[in-house]
Structure 1
């Protein structure tokens, strides 16, 4: 989800910086655009790092041998 948000922020920032020539009183759209692009880059970076960490997890099954032996004996006795 953060990946899509980051791309969206970069697109909106690029439009505000490079494509819009109008100005709003007390708001510099170029600066707002650069801030949006930087925030989008940070969001994409954080998303990729989080996904890389998630895929490096390992799972280990711990089995208690006494429980397995007890289960095997019940099945044999019947």
Structure 2
């Protein structure tokens, strides 16, 4: 989701930076600077989204169920590892 939103912000920022200043001028507003800021924010959000997606893909979870031979009770063990490549 954040990758798509970042790409959307980059597109909007590019439109604001390159198209809007030629269409109209508003006193006190630098449309080109606003567009570059939105474009940079979109690039940052996209980069963070890619990093988070790569990190979440390296997690593995293993569940094991066994019966304890001494007591006859069921034992469930869950292991989570973040170092799986």
Report the TM-score when normalising by structure 1: 0.77
Give per-residue Cα distances to partners, 1:54-78, cap 9 Å, x unaligned: 11001122445417x726xxxxxxx
Superposition deviation, residue 32 in structure 1: 0.3
Specify every segment of 5 or more residues in structure 2 that has no aligned partner in the other structure, as ranges.
Answer: 74-85
Q: Following superposition, which runs of at least 4 residues in structure 1 exceed 2 angstroms of deviation?
A: 60-65
Structure with more relative contact order (C-alpha pairs < 8 Å, separation 6 or more)? 1
Aligned ranges 1:12-51 → 2 under 5 Å: 12-20=12-20, 21=22, 22-51=24-53
SS in 2 for 1:61: strand
Instruction: From the two aligned structures, give the one with the greater strand fraction.
Output: 2
Instruction: From the two aligned structures, give the one with the greater helix fraction.
Output: 1
Specify every segment of 5 or more residues in structure 1 that has no aligned partner in the other structure, as ranges.
Answer: 72-78
